[in-house]
Structure 1
Amino acid sequence: MTINCKGNLIDLTQPKVMGILNLTPDSFYDGGKYTDPDSIIFQVEKMILEGADFIDVGAYSSRPNAQDISTDVELARILPVVERLLEEFPELLISIDTYRSRVAKECISLGAAMINDISAGKLDGKMIPTVAEHQVPYVMMHLKGTPKTMQRQTTYDDLIGDILYYFSERIAAARSLGINDIIVDPGFGFAKTLEQNYCLLQNLQFLKSFNLPILVGLSRKSMIYRLLDLDTDRALNGTTALNMVALLRGANILRVHDVKEAVECIKLTEALVLS
């Protein structure tokens, strides 16, 4: 199971780590931490040294009730960072966390290697054609509604069945335009209650029916800290525990704030599976 990133085949049969770089002032965990060039370079270098395979750069917060921003503001935040990161780390594989096709296109033109779209093309009809034109790997996430409305859209006839149907339709749309490298993300915390998140994790292996890589983003989310009556700062242990479960159920990429711990989790899981 491989994806092509800028001419390099990345083997995802061995799980990989995607480090999160939020450029937003209002992200749920690290909002406002990485807004100046020095802090950004320091954090990315740290994640690379700890073993990150990809860096996911986002300039639009998708947390519930986050402030909406224009495309121009998103571009002003993200383009200088992508350019600077590739100057400092020319081999870096940058994923762009956006649902806007214009942002995706301009970041790819600077050298970004992957697009990570929370809406799987549903919030911008030009996104899938844009990804197809540039032939970069495409992460499509499950989402109902928008970040502003998703918490009111948690009713399902059959949670797992509805998600499988959603991906069947979205994958078909991407394939019809010739997108080769597709990664599915079940969207933990997006239009799902706490109980639904755990049901989804328990049944993650059903996504393997698509024979596509699975990306899991559980890092420090409310399904962890609310259940444990903690805050985001103390949710690392719970994140690692659930990442282990995700790996055992078929996850190929862990999207995380804490790279070192995720890399260790993968090593331990591999030792367990191979023993």
Structure 2
Amino acid sequence: MNCYKLSSHTPLEALLKKLDVTPEGCAILKQKAHLNLIYIKDLKTPAANILKQDALSIGADLAVPKETITCKVPMVDALLIANDKQLKELSIKERVQPFGLKALAKELEELRFTCKHDFSVMGILNTNEDSFFQGSRFSGKAALRHIERMIEEGASIIDVGGVSSRPGSVGVSEEEELSRIAPIVDLIAQHHLTCKAKFSLDSYSPLCLEYALSRGFQIVNDITALANDDVARMAATHQASVVLMHMKGEPSSMQESPKYENVVLEVDAFFEERIEKAKRFGIEKIILDVGIGFGKTLEQNVQLLQHHEHFLRFGYPLLVGASRKSMIDKIIATPIEKRLAGTLALHVKAYEHGASIIRAHDVYEHVQALSVARALQTIV
């Protein structure tokens, strides 16, 4: 008899099928094998004591500060450690408990994650001269050839932008932005490329978005997350998908000492608010983007990637865009032109933590890397 230890990332469902476990058995065992670590902020101390006892009673646990049992402080933070089955049981138990535990029960139910294995690569094309990566800047027929090449390499979405949103960038008028993107939008329409891939406009200009959406574009990539009601109305009218991205401040100043008490919870609250607004305007096709590099320090960017799976609780696809960004340079000094390897490391990690749309400058390399990452999740 021999045995060996499996990785915690082993594709369990495929392994159980290989062992010829019944479908009913697979369903039960999958719940027991996925461990959740859930950080709970500002939990009333009596609630913490109740939750700990309930967790222990079903084989889970709750890590709390040592003075919690004495109730010397009114609120504490806690760490819940539970598999999917225990999480479900605990959410049922807490529905009848006081001290805010009824509301917590609802959140625990939402946080029973499912890993996403499919991915789409969103290729980047910029029609401006101030985008931070020169390799993404194209115009005229060269832009058309680059779009066709990205589609051939496996991009299922092409994101076109006419204004840079890099840290320190300054905006331009709607008319100037339109003069940059209109020739490319027209070429895309003339060559019927919207039949080969989906097209997204990286803009928050109603004028530019109306131009693109009326010519076959299907996605609004809005770094302001529908701050402008006119953009929300337009997206709803065209039944477009909308990327809601979190950004702290404005591009011109967003990297000047951004501060958060808890970046994951603040981004979560932002998404909740903007999703509600999108729905109020009749927008149903929503994509969430935590906004790597948009008003975040290196540590905050890393925290968002480490806990990216948290945002699956909203039930919408997650987009990540860390391509060649300065966080790589902050980890290991690297010029923009040589940040492909670091980009792939960040994006594969984001994919493993729930991202299903990867916005990237280098399409071929991303399709290859993500195809391998997917195989590692599905082949035993």
Asked if Structure 1 and Structure 2 have the same fold, meaning a TM-score greater than 0.5 normalized by the shorter chain, the answer is: yes
- In 2, Cα distance between the equivalents of 1:13 and 1:180? 22
- In 2, Cα distance between the equivalents of 1:167 and 1:95? 20
- In 2, Cα distance between the equivalents of 1:17 and 1:82? 20
Which residue in the other structure is 2:64 paired with? none
Superposed CA deviations along residues 197-245 of structure 1, whole A, max 9, x for unmatched, are 1111111011111010000001000011232101110000011111110
Is the CA contact 2:200–2:217 (under 8 Å) kept in the aligned structure 1? yes
What runs of 5+ residues in structure 2 fail to find an aligned partner? 1-115
Are 2:320 and 1:216 aligned? yes
- In 2, Cα distance between the equivalents of 1:32 and 1:208? 30
- In 2, Cα distance between the equivalents of 1:53 and 1:112? 13
What is the CA distance between 1:128 and its match in structure 2? Answer: 1.2
Which of 90, 96, 116 does residue 221 from structure 2 map onto? 116
Are 2:15 and 1:15 aligned? no
TM-score normalised per structure 1: 0.92
Superposed CA deviations along residues 70-120 of structure 1, whole A, max 9, x for unmatched, are 000000111121110122224132100001222111210111111100010
Bigger relative CO (Cα 8 Å, ≥ 6 apart): 1
- In 1, Cα distance between the equivalents of 2:218 and 2:164? 21
Is the CA contact 1:62–1:147 (under 8 Å) kept in the aligned structure 2? yes
What is the CA distance between 1:270 and its match in structure 2? Answer: 1.1
Are 2:367 and 1:267 aligned? no
Is the CA contact 1:24–1:58 (under 8 Å) kept in the aligned structure 2? yes
- In 2, Cα distance between the equivalents of 1:13 and 1:133? 31
Is the CA contact 1:22–1:30 (under 8 Å) kept in the aligned structure 2? no
Three-state SS of the structure 1 residue aligned to 2:350 is helix
Stretch deviating more after TM superposition (207-216 or 86-95)? 86-95
Which of 195, 198, 203 does residue 98 from structure 1 map onto? 203
Three-state SS of the structure 2 residue aligned to 1:184 is strand
Supply the AA of the counterpart residue of 2:338.
R
Is the CA contact 1:256–1:262 (under 8 Å) kept in the aligned structure 2? yes
- In 2, Cα distance between the equivalents of 1:246 and 1:139? 17
Are 2:143 and 1:40 aligned? yes
Which of 51, 57, 60 does residue 163 from structure 2 map onto? 60
**Structure 1 consecutive aligned stretches of length 4 or more whose deviation exceeds 2 Å:** 30-33
Supply the AA of the counterpart residue of 2:337.
D
What is the CA distance between 1:129 and its match in structure 2? Answer: 1.5
Matches within 5 A, 1:27-176: 27-30=131-134, 33-35=137-139, 37-88=140-191, 89-91=193-195, 92-122=197-227, 124-152=228-256, 154-176=258-280
Stretch deviating more after TM superposition (250-259 or 222-231)? 222-231
Three-state SS of the structure 2 residue aligned to 1:230 is coil
What is the CA distance between 1:145 and its match in structure 2? Answer: 1.7
- In 2, Cα distance between the equivalents of 1:179 and 1:268? 34
Supply the AA of the counterpart residue of 1:99.
Y
Supply the AA of the counterpart residue of 1:227.
I
Is the CA contact 2:225–2:243 (under 8 Å) kept in the aligned structure 1? yes
Stretch deviating more after TM superposition (187-196 or 60-69)? 60-69
Is the CA contact 1:243–1:265 (under 8 Å) kept in the aligned structure 2? no
Is the CA contact 1:24–1:32 (under 8 Å) kept in the aligned structure 2? no
Q: State the structure with more CA Rg.
A: 2
Three-state SS of the structure 1 residue aligned to 2:293 is coil
Three-state SS of the structure 2 residue aligned to 1:152 is coil
- In 2, Cα distance between the equivalents of 1:33 and 1:62? 14
Supply the AA of the counterpart residue of 2:293.
G
Three-state SS of the structure 1 residue aligned to 2:159 is strand
Stretch deviating more after TM superposition (202-211 or 88-97)? 88-97
Is the CA contact 2:144–2:184 (under 8 Å) kept in the aligned structure 1? no
Is the CA contact 1:29–1:233 (under 8 Å) kept in the aligned structure 2? yes
TM-score normalised per structure 2: 0.67
Supply the AA of the counterpart residue of 1:93.
K
Which residue in the other structure is 2:7 paired with? none
C-alpha RMSD of matched pairs (Å): 1.4
What runs of 5+ residues in structure 1 fail to find an aligned partner? 1-11
